A = this chain, B = another copy of it.
Amino acid sequence: MEEAKGLVRRVHLVKFKDGTPPARIEEILKNYANLVNLIEPLKSWHMGKNVSIMNLDQGFTHVFEVTFESVEGLAEYADHPIHTEFSKQTRPHLDKVIVITYEPTVFCT
């Protein structure tokens, strides 16, 4: 299986706190999506709400897929002040989160 050279993807599974107002969640999603316009090495951003009926979802409500041009690009993103501020504003609203970083077998944008 061929790996896309250098590209790095992160999948976040997130459960927002029950008490977070839907309007605040929408604001967070818009701000998160907008990072792709503000932080150069962040090449693509996708999300979706969990609609699983398999009962294997551990209560996670959202999936986010973010793709970077390289390991160095991911590091630049992680330390970028705009990302740091976004994380600081968002973290209090998260009940739980899983983050997996990987090099996908085939690149998709």
Q: How far is the CB of A12 from chain B (nearest CB, A)?
A: 9
A80 at the interface (CB under 8 A from B): no
A24 at the interface (CB under 8 A from B): no
Q: What 1/0 mask marks residues of chain A from 1 to 43 whose CB sits below 8 Å from any chain B CB?
A: 1010000011101000000000000000110010000000000
Tell which of B51, B57, B109 touches A103, judged by Cβ atoms closer than 8 Å. Answer: B51
Tell me the complex Cα distance, A48–B79, Å: 24
Tell me the complex Cα distance, A33–B105, Å: 10
Task: Show the binding face of A for B, using Cβ within 8 Å.
Answer: 1, 3, 9-11, 13, 29-30, 33, 44, 46-54, 56-58, 60, 62-63, 65, 97-106, 108-109
